Amino acid sequence: MNNNREEQKLEKSINGDGNGKRLLFFPLPLQGHITPILQLADILYSKGFSIIIIHTKFNSPNPSNHPNFTFKPINDNLSEAETSELSVFDLAYLINVKCLAPFRDCLTELFSDFSDVRRPFAALISDPVLHFTRDVAKSFDLPRFVLRTSGVGAFWGFTAIPLLQEQGYLPIEDSRLEDPVMELPPLRIKDLPVINALDPPKFYHLVAAFIEEAKTSSGVIFNSFEELESSAISTLRQQFPAPIFPIGPFHQYHPSNSSSLLKPDESSISWLDKQEPKSVVYVSFGSIAAIKEKEFLEIALGLANSKCPFLWVIRPGSVHGLEWLEALPNGFLDSLNGRGHIVKWAPQLEVLAHSSVGAFWTHNGWNSTLESICEGVPMICMPCFTDQMVNTRYVTYVWKVGIELENGLERENIARAIRRLMVEEEGEEIRKRALDLKEKAKFTSKRGGASYKSLESLISCLSPS
């Protein structure tokens, strides 16, 4: 990073360039959280705010991709072993411990730069998983909003966890997986946003802390929209103490600069250019989920057996015990005569918008789900943990724009699911619904749309009076 340039930008902001409308952002340093918060910063920059991004050194965003923002790195004190070996939940736990003091120091420094201004920053917008930010922001009398990066339906599920424990739905019993959760329609017990954590109380504690963080904020911003989650949004509005701002899909306001932590492989697009329209299955399980070697091989054989062309993202290290592709049968890709292409990371937005893509086999992380909806691409759903299960339920049962991979991750089931969606009549119906939903997603952020209105009301809450 060019520190001088960052200092100059900060000075410009101090000397009035931000017109008193300076916003501080603090993302949780994970891809699925960094992308939407930087997109939100882009939206608010275009509305006249000046943007300062406070961030950890671990998974630091690349400042040169965001020349309009000022970046303030803090010392996260995380060791390489911690960032590479801990589960995402343990890591979130540790960040909450280790970043408290550096974050406070960072705010002290920023506020001292503006000591002669009454209200130098309009607000902090942080990720509620960074729950330590609440007390720190309060001590600076800094208004705090949060960006929750899941869907609203999933967030509602998280808020209900204590009640679900009390009612006996949790911990989940295998014999009750299909039972409806009366308090959270349309979820069944197997759709609840939980995880097979080694230490369940620690997981529940983290969830309770981020819900409290959201409850006590000046507002909760969602990368979602009324037309998509109207029922969850209105329920949450009735039950939740903080205002709710569903202003998504963020990436549709205007093109944002890349916030990818890994370099997207552009051969994805040149390979797609050579395929027939709507013929390709795009396969990616996001930035965190990992699979076993046996599952990896079943996926490879299932894709091969489906006879459909496929573009498959395999992040290095995302198959337990493997570096990358070394377990694939010898000559696997050659035997497919160009029908398959494998990359380490894809330019996903471009891929989903490509005319050759006919389906997305996804883990239903919220960003992937929304990106697929925005491009009208039907989904094959394979949720891995927490909110992904809720998202799958909405995709398959509420919006009906995808099918769930059923009966386990085995080659026959995979090939069968792909053919159901790509070849059979059922797929045709799903495709039509996906295109209808795409239109709704397009309209909502335009003047008169629900997200547009919600954004306007967020901006008036953020603007200093």
- Measured from the CB atom, the residue of 132 and 366 that comes closer to ligand UDX is 366
Least separation, in Å, of the C-beta of 203 and ligand UDX? 14
Closest among 383, 346, 379, 366 to 267, alpha carbons compared? 346
Least separation, in Å, of the C-beta of 277 and ligand UDX? 22
- Measured from the CB atom, the residue of 154 and 304 that comes closer to ligand UDX is 154
Least separation, in Å, of the C-beta of 394 and ligand UDX? 13
Number of helices (H) and strands (E) in the chain: give both, helices first.
18, 13
CA dist., res. 465 & res. 463, Å (int)? 6
Which residues face 381 on adjacent strands?
Answer: 362, 404
- Measured from the CB atom, the residue of 77 and 257 that comes closer to ligand UDX is 257
Q: What is the DSSP string of 57-118?
A: STT---GGG-TTSEEEEE-----HHHHHHS-HHHHHHHHHHHTHHHHHHHHHHHHHHTTT-S
Least separation, in Å, of the C-beta of 311 and ligand UDX? 10
- Measured from the CB atom, the residue of 100 and 288 that comes closer to ligand UDX is 288
- Measured from the CB atom, the residue of 13 and 371 that comes closer to ligand UDX is 371
- Measured from the CB atom, the residue of 110 and 154 that comes closer to ligand UDX is 154
In a 10 Å sphere around its CB, with 0-12 CB exposed, 13-18 middle and 19+ buried, how is residue 314 labelled?
A: buried
- Measured from the CB atom, the residue of 120 and 213 that comes closer to ligand UDX is 213
- Measured from the CB atom, the residue of 388 and 454 that comes closer to ligand UDX is 388
Least separation, in Å, of the C-beta of 18 and ligand UDX? 28
Least separation, in Å, of the C-beta of 317 and ligand UDX? 14
Least separation, in Å, of the C-beta of 33 and ligand UDX? 6
C-beta of residue 342 within 8 angstroms of C-beta of residue 317: no
Phi first, then psi, for residue 244 (nearest 5°) are: -115, 130
Which residues face 246 on adjacent strands?
Answer: 222
Residue 139 identity (one-letter amino acid): S
CA dist., res. 61 & res. 312, Å (int)? 25
Least separation, in Å, of the C-beta of 122 and ligand UDX? 26
C-beta of residue 399 within 8 angstroms of C-beta of residue 433: yes
CA dist., res. 180 & res. 184, Å (int)? 8
CA dist., res. 128 & res. 126, Å (int)? 6
Token reading at 229: 């989650």
Binding site for ligand UDX (CB under 6 A): 30-33, 35, 149-150, 260, 264, 284, 286-289, 313, 345-346, 348-349, 365-368, 371, 387-388
